[in-house]
């Protein structure tokens, strides 16, 4: 069983709408959690990195939250744009080493 589960697997929304992507993990001990955006045919681009003590981190219209107690994170996208269409990958790092666990990603499609 993957230690990082993302949901939904795919999502279609209309331009201008908000959406929230979920990431649940069982990785322990926890070091940090990253959200990446990956456009088709491109490498992943880092959106946010959060450590244990951080609850919220924003990057423009992207806001990530972290609940280390329940081991859940979410990525909220506000006022979506067509350029937000991409895969969003959640990655959780293990403390004291650089071992990383990857989610399978959520494929977001924003339609006009």
Partner 1 sequence: DAGVIQSPRHEVTEMGQEVTLRCKPISGHDYLFWYRQTMMRGLELLIYFNNNVPIDDSGMPEDRFSAKMPNASFSTLKIQPSEPRDSAVYFCASSLWAKETQYFGPGTRLLVL
Using CB under 8 A as the criterion, which residues of the chain lie in contact with partner 1 when the complex forms? 31-32, 42-46, 49, 89, 91, 93, 97-100, 102-105
Q: Which of residues 68 and 104 has its CB atom nearest to partner 1 in the complex?
A: 104
DSSP 3-state assignment of 84?
helix
Closest distance of CB 102 from partner 1, Å: 5
- For residue 6, CA distances in Å to 16, 19, 112 come to 23, 14, 25
Give dist(CA 73, CA 90) in Å, integer: 9
Name the minimum Å distance from CB 42 to partner 1.
Answer: 6
Q: Given the complex with partner 1, which of 31 and 74 has the nearer CB atom?
A: 31
Q: Compute and round to an integer the Cα radius of gyration of the chain.
A: 13
């Amino acid at each position: 069983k993957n230690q990082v589960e993302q949901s939904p697997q795919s999502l279609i929304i209309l331009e201008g709408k908000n959406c929230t992507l979920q990431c649940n993990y069982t990785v322990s001990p926890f070091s940090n959690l990253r959200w990446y955006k990956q456009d088709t045919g491109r490498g992943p681009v880092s959106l946010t990195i959060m450590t244990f003590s951080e609850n919220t981190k924003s990057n423009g219209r992207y806001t990530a939250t972290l609940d280390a107690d329940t081991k859940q994170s979410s990525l909220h996208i506000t006022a979506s744009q067509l350029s937000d269409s991409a895969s969003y990958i959640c990655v959780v790092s293990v403390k004291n080493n650089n071992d990383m666990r990857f989610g399978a990603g959520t494929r977001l499609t924003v339609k006009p």
